[in-house]
Amino acid sequence: MGLKKTHQNTIFLILFTAFGALLASCGKSGASGELVGAGAKNFKSNEVPYGMVYIPGGSFIMGQTDQDVLFGQAAQNKEVTVSPFFMDETEITNSEYRQFVNWVRDSTLIALMTGAEQAKFLVVDKSVTKAGNNNPVTPPSTTQPAPGAGIQTGNNNPVPPPSTTQPAPGAGIQKGIAPPLPRPIDWRKVGVNGANLWKSGLKGDVFKNAKKSITHTELGDPKLDDRKFTYGYTIFDAEKAAAERDQRGKNNIQNADRTKQVFKDTVGVYPDTLVWKAHLFKRSHNEPMIYGYFSHPAYNNYPVVGISWRQARAFSVWRGKVNDSYRAAKKLPKRMPYSLPTEAEFEYAARGGRVGTTYPWGGPYPRNAKGCLMANFKPARGRFADDGATFTVNVKSYFPNDFGLFNMAGNVAEWTNDAYNVSAYNITNTLNPVINNAGEKRKVVRGGSWNDNGYFLQNSVRNYEMELEQTAYIGFRCVTPYIGRDIKDK
């Protein structure tokens, strides 16, 4: 008995020593056998994304605070609660949207290039480098077309021969999809706004041919063909997944096929610059706006227009993915996805934390006590310039509201995420209400524009436009959720 007991003690002692050693060497690594959680990285949750402001969560009365002059009853009062989020302090500008267009333009061009010319702009192929270290002769690769292969045929024929790994340029583009790249693009090599791609005098045939397939000469000088610039994306469709889950019931939740619960879209990204002369402006001499508004540096900080709801959504997804890839490279945790604000988020943010007010600046009138107009809209009966502007203005014009948001009323009206439903307030949840309905092509537009009268500037007034419609008076801004309870929490 005594011997056995000693033996047990020895084992205990050995175990204890081992345990102690683990604790000493690994600290809080989780190897202690205790439940310590898997969160190895600290997430700095008080970081405010560039160009955005923090909107604290809260409850508010959504809906009409003034007379319902149209008797539409589309905005009945309802108390709703919104979680904290970040919102762009201004409308998305021409300059910001051009970053998206340039990104798509440069990706398309690089995807249309081949071989070594293309490889200049891609991340380094580590498999090739490693093999090269051991062996001075680089082995032939199936994923990497031999340098020069495309160039030789390219001299005679602008369309390189079909290849199993590299689809012929043009084939995918016509369908709106650029050929897949063998490796991701290294944007540091491309330079700001594609400087290294466009300005370094790339004279090779691979570049010339790629450029040719996204250029048209219908107007004499070669011009980039904006029809070729499309952005395709795939995102997880939580709405669909949750609906399927509810249908399946609790017995079969584990077997959900997540690969089918995705949402895909491909959109041409270029704004419709003809909006300045279409629809309402048919007989206006607005040609200077057509030629200059989106592309001239004078309008850099003016709100982008001519953007459909579908384009605005694609921009938001792209913005999130660009940030994701930066953060992945820096080994930082991702942000939540960017999106258009829900209708409730927009109204909550527009109110700036004030209760029962008519306009974002709090007052009951579109003018302040000095008689100055507080926003860019159409005062009186079409005296566009009374507020100091004929069309749009710089996105930082006028005073921001109490959350620090500019032009939540006026300048350009803004797309929200929500599908329009006249009875929305009767059917939505009171917690973070939203109407996602892909079948409903009418999307809610908020805030009123330079082309609207003062009624549409009110915090509660709802309007809608078809999701593919592009106009000279609708723009947008993005939001991204704040992760946590409140930004002031430690």
Chain contacts with Ca ion (rule: CB under 5 A): 407, 411, 447
CA–CA separation, 414 and 320 (whole Å): 19
Provide, rounded to whole angstroms, the least separation between the CB of residue 409 and Ca ion: 6
Provide, rounded to whole angstroms, the least separation between the CB of residue 255 and Ca ion: 46
CA dist list (Å): 430 to 59, 141, 434, 486: 9, 57, 9, 20
Q: Which is nearer to Ca ion, 339 or 407 (CB)?
A: 407
Provide, rounded to whole angstroms, the least separation between the CB of residue 111 and Ca ion: 35
Q: Which two tokens stand for residue 114?
A: 């081949």
Q: Which is nearer to Ca ion, 166 or 449 (CB)?
A: 449
The one-letter amino acid code at 455 reads Y
- Say how many residues make up the chain: 490
Q: Which is nearer to Ca ion, 286 or 411 (CB)?
A: 411
- CA nearest 467: which of 448, 447, 442? 442
Provide, rounded to whole angstroms, the least separation between the CB of residue 93 and Ca ion: 12
Provide, rounded to whole angstroms, the least separation between the CB of residue 97 and Ca ion: 15
Provide, rounded to whole angstroms, the least separation between the CB of residue 410 and Ca ion: 6
Which residues is 446 bridged to in the sheet? Answer: 414, 462
Q: Label the pairing between strands 223-224 and 230-236.
A: unpaired
Provide, rounded to whole angstroms, the least separation between the CB of residue 401 and Ca ion: 11
CA angle (290 as vertex; 284, 292 as ends), nearest 5: 130
CA 169 to chain centre: 27
CA 242 to chain centre: 23
Q: Which is nearer to Ca ion, 170 or 410 (CB)?
A: 410
Q: What is the DSSP string of 179-209?
A: PPPSS-B-HHHH-GGGHHHHSS---SHHHHH
Residue 96: CA count within 13 A, CB half-sphere = 23
Q: Which is nearer to Ca ion, 318 or 450 (CB)?
A: 450
CA–CA separation, 195 and 469 (whole Å): 33
Q: Which is nearer to Ca ion, 411 or 470 (CB)?
A: 411
CA–CA separation, 281 and 187 (whole Å): 40
Q: Which is nearer to Ca ion, 55 or 110 (CB)?
A: 55
